[in-house]
Amino acid sequence: MKSTPSEDTWMFETFQARAEEVSAEVHRFATRARALEFIVDFLRAEGVADAPGSYALWADGPFLNQADRDDLGRRVPGLRFEVTRDRAAQTKIGLSQMDWGLADTGTLAQNSTAVEQRLVSTLPEIHVALVHTQAVLPDLASLLARVDPATMPYLALITGPSRTADIERVLTIGVHGPLRLVIVGVDEPLGVAA
């Protein structure tokens, strides 16, 4: 059953509220072009540069497949698209496209079977995650009804920045993953895989 625009808006707003409750930063844009401009401005403001520790690394995905990578590389020196383990370990900001969001928890879900997706979402200190606003589902049960383990053996669920609490119950952010999670919601379809 197809949802209505008002249902999509409510679903994304619920997702956004839940994601912000767990310290994610959420931004919403009507078009891919506006989202891309936000990303370029964000990368520049965060000091992305062509030096170890200052790189940005963007994993393949439908949104990126529609962008001019050469132009992006000129506009943001230090932005790379060839994901390797070594480069990811020296990267400040990782960018990837998510497949779904879950409204009830503010969780992102991604087919992370490709190791490149995992590298950019776990090793850098900042993860920028793109999601189509109409890909937000009500809950985990809705997601699991869509996932076939035979074609998606590695499903990643991301809820906020990395956090842990030790035995003394001291909350620490960023120990096992990014310090910041920046979610970019886009109303316009994000494109199709190449």
Task: Say which CATH number the domain at 25 has.
Answer: 3.40.50.10420
The Cα angle at residue 30 between residues 146 and 13, in degrees rounded to 5: 60
48 within 8 A of 92, measured Cβ to Cβ: yes
Place of tokens 């197809």: 2
CA distance 132 to 87: 27
59 located within any domain: yes
Mean per-residue pLDDT for 89-98?
Answer: 96
pLDDT digit string, tens, across residues 118-169: 999 999 999 999 999 999 999 999 999 999 989 999 999 999 875 555 556 6
- The total domain count for the chain is 1
103 located within any domain: yes
Q: How many angstroms separate the first and last alpha carbons of the chain?
A: 27
13 located within any domain: yes
136 located within any domain: yes
Mean per-residue pLDDT for 111-115?
Answer: 93
Q: What pTM did the predictor assign? A: 0.89
Buried b (16+ CB within 10 A) or exposed e, 41-80: ebbbebebbeeeebbbbbbbbebbeebeeeebeeebebbb
Going by C-alpha positions, the residue among 138, 67, 126, 128 that lies closest to residue 100 is 138
DSSP conformational letter for 151: T
Coil vs helix vs strand at 174: coil
Mean per-residue pLDDT for 86-111?
Answer: 96
